[in-house]
């Protein structure tokens, strides 16, 4: 399946009222399904955070709606072995009017690993970078730790900050707390920060110094509305112009509403379940005789076999998804046809595997899940719990607001947890390096592996693939590495999300495979 979709062609017109001879652009209000956890563009690699950063900042390299690299602050680049040379755009200014130079790039990349307490560190995207040098004000030289075939895609996820504005007394310069207040939050993107009232709204206004095409909107207001029915109500009432993730069971009604336009776009986000595989029983576990059954591959396989992924997509997602047997949908780069289809659920085989592992009478565990971060996340967790109960594994579902969930997950507070990951690079190296490679913060790998899963043979293959420029060889390595993780049941893919936006009929947003909602790409139409 190629992640292709119908392109909606729209002419961008300024919505205007004749007033003293000048056109007044309409402001834009966006209903978010999940509020960002921070304004710090390097604190948490999470889509609600990243899409906001993409609106206020620019990376060296951007990716288009299909995850392909395109010029950003770097207008051109070349590679010679392990050395990459980037030529920067001239006459680019930050939103405070100060000039952008190579020193800002060096400062930004140096800051990334210094940001403390990151739930999902941006160091992942710089893990292959050895040194960064400002050759002159408009040239940056990056030396990598060997060949780095996905460097461009990785750099697209690191927004460039202003050295002058973001420097400070802490090792990382301005702290996350300071940036959350807007202090030092200065970028080169199409919009600039105005205010953030937690739980209520985030306000941005057009950056008059922006180097690119002028966006349609003078002001953009983001309103976090975690309840999906409330988001729809806000759209129908005209309180917002566009919403993320309308309820799947409302889609038919919304599609038939002539006042609305619905955009559906395939995504590279996998919803998965991770299992705490440490040597000691994790929190929420009982009835195991002091052991952690999740450290046993047979138990992990049993839990996987108990999950009817097709039923989840059909009944919970109303078909708005794809059952997942891997961390990326086939034929994305590094995926194999062998893992393009899910294994049918088999409760009887699952029970036998549990008995063989010494847990014929089952046991108790916890399943943590955010409530409102992913489409139907709470409902999926509850259904998985009922499926596990059928094989004798009593499951206590613990759901909570996304920021609380991520904090608890990162403290290893659950036996198992449900979460999602968007492979923005479009190839298997991204989810493998983040989700299943052994956690090593110093090396910038395993940054979102909160399951204590470790497979040294797989790690070695992934690291080798990360330095292999030959596409055919790298693809084969990634296929083999992902097969190791799947055959080891180190992580349990559940489904791939299909992204949906609902908007007023005079708007168009084509959507992106990385699921980001970008105000600058939203257009008014006749």
Query: Is the distance from CB of 100 to CB of 140 less than 8 angstroms?
Result: no
pLDDT at 25 (0 to 100)? 59
Backbone angles phi, psi at 311, to 5 degrees: -65, -40
Alpha-carbon span 412 to 448, nearest angstrom: 12
Tell me the DSSP string of 286-316. Answer: BSSTT--GGGSHHHHHHHHHT--HHHIIIII
Smallest CA-to-CA distance from 159 within 78, 53, 244 is with: 53
Low-confidence residues of the chain, pLDDT below 50? 1-23
Over the stretch 448-492, which tens digit does the pLDDT of each residue have? Answer: 999 999 999 999 999 999 989 888 999 999 999 999 999 999 999
Six token digits for residue 382 = 């509850």
Q: Which of 471, 478, 464 is nearest to 432 (CA)?
A: 478
* Three-state secondary-structure class, residue 521: helix
Q: Which helix (H) or strand (E) holds 347?
A: helix 347-356
514 CB-near residues (< 8 Å, 6+ apart):
47, 63, 67, 267, 268, 269, 422, 424
Write out the E strands in 318-387.
Answer: 321-323, 363-370
Please, are residues 415 and 378 in contact by the beta-carbon 8 Å criterion?
A: no
- Residue whose C-alpha is closest to residue 108's, from 63, 54, 60: 60
Distance CA 167, CA 442 (A): 23
CA atoms within 13 Å, Cβ hemisphere of 125: 26
Farthest-apart Cα atoms in the chain, separation: 81
Write the Ramachandran bin of 440: left for phi over 0, alpha for psi from -120 to 50, otherwise beta: beta
Interaxial angle between packed helices 347-356 and 297-305, expressed in degrees from 0 to 180 and rounded to the nearest 10: 160
The size of the chain, in residues, is 526
Pick from 71, 63, 84, 203: which is nearest to 142 by CA?
A: 84
434, 124 Cβ separation under 8 angstroms: yes
Q: Which residues 6+ apart lie within 8 Å of 487 measured at CB?
A: none
Q: How, if at all, do strands 393-400 and 363-370 pair?
A: parallel
pTM attached to this predicted model: 0.79
Q: How far apart are the first and last CA of the chain?
A: 33
Nearest 5°: the CA angle 23, 26, 31 is 170
Residues 361-376: tens digit of each pLDDT: 999 999 999 999 999 9
Residues 6+ apart with CB under 8 A from 65: 265, 510, 511, 512, 513, 521
HSE-CB at 179 with a 13 A cutoff on CA atoms is: 26
Query: What local confidence, expressed as pLDDT, does residue 5 receive?
Result: 31
Q: Which residues contact 69 (CB under 8 A, 6 or more apart)?
A: 61, 62, 63, 152, 153, 156
DSSP state of 159: P
Q: Is 475 helix (H, G, I), strand (E, B) or coil?
A: helix
The answer to whether 379 and 247 have CB atoms below 8 angstroms apart is: no
Residue tagged 């195991």 (tokens): 288
Give the model's pLDDT for residue 526. Answer: 73
Mean pLDDT of the chain: 92
**DSSP-assigned letter for residue 170:** B
Question: Which candidate, 524, 33, 28, places its Cα nearest to that of 241?
Answer: 28
Whole-angstrom distance, CA of residue 135 vs CA of residue 427: 31
């Amino acid at each position: 399946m190629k992640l292709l979709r119908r392109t909606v062609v729209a002419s961008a017109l300024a919505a205007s009222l004749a007033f003293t001879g000048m056109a007044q652009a309409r402001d834009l209000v966006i209903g978010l399904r999940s509020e960002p956890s921070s304004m710090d563009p390097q604190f948490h690699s999470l889509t609600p955070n990243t899409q906001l950063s993409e609106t206020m900042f620019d990376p060296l390299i951007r990716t288009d709606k299909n995850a392909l690299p395109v010029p950003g602050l770097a207008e051109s680049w070349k590679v010679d072995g392990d050395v990459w040379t980037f030529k920067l755009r001239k006459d680019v200014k930050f939103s405070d009017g100060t000039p952008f130079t190579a020193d800002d790039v060096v400062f930004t990349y140096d800051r990334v690993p210094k940001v403390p307490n990151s739930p999902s560190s941006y160091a992942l995207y710089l893990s292959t970078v050895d040194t960064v040098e400002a050759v002159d004000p408009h040239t940056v030289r990056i030396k990598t730790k060997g060949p780095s075939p996905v460097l461009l895609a990785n750099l697209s996820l690191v927004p460039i900050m202003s050295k002058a504005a973001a420097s400070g007394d802490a090792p990382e310069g301005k702290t996350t707390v300071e940036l959350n207040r807007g202090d030092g939050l200065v970028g080169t993107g199409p919009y600039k920060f105005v205010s953030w009232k937690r739980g209520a709204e985030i306000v941005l206004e057009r950056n008059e110094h922006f180097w690119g095409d002028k966006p349609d909107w003078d002001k953009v207001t983001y309103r976090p509305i975690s309840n999906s029915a409330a988001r729809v109500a806000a759209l129908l009432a005209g309180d917002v112009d566009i919403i993320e993730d309308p309820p799947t069971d409302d889609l038919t009604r919304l599609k038939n509403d002539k006042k609305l336009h619905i955009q559906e776009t395939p995504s590279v986000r996998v919803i998965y379940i991770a299992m705490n595989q440490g040597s000691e029983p994790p929190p929420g576990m009982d009835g195991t005789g002091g052991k952690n059954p999740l450290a046993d591959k047979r138990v992990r396989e049993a839990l996987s076999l108990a999950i009817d992924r097709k039923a989840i997509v059909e009944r919970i997602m109303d078909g708005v998804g794809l059952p997942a047997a891997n961390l990326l949908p086939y034929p994305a780069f590094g995926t194999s046809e062998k893992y393009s289809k899910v294994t049918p659920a088999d409760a009887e085989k699952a029970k036998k595997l549990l008995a063989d592992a010494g847990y014929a009478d089952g046991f108790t565990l916890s399943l943590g899940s955010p409530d409102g971060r992913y489409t139907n996340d709470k409902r999926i967790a509850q259904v998985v719990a009922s499926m596990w109960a059928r094989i004798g594994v009593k499951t206590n579902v613990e759901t909570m607001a996304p920021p609380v969930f991520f904090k608890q997950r990162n403290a290893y507070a659950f036996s198992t947890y449900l979460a999602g990951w968007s492979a923005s690079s479009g190839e298997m190296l991204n989810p493998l390096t983040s989700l299943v490679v052994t956690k090593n913060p110093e090396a910038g790998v395993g940054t979102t592996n909160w399951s204590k899963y470790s497979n040294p043979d797989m790690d070695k293959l992934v690291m080798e693939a990360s330095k292999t420029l030959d596409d055919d060889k790298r693809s084969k390595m990634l296929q083999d590495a992902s097969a190791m993780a799947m055959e080891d049941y180190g992580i349990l893919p559940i489904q791939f999300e299909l992204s949906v936006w609902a908007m007023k009929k005079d708007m168009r947003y084509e959507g992106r495979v990385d699921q980001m909602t970008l105000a600058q790409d939203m257009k008014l139409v006749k």
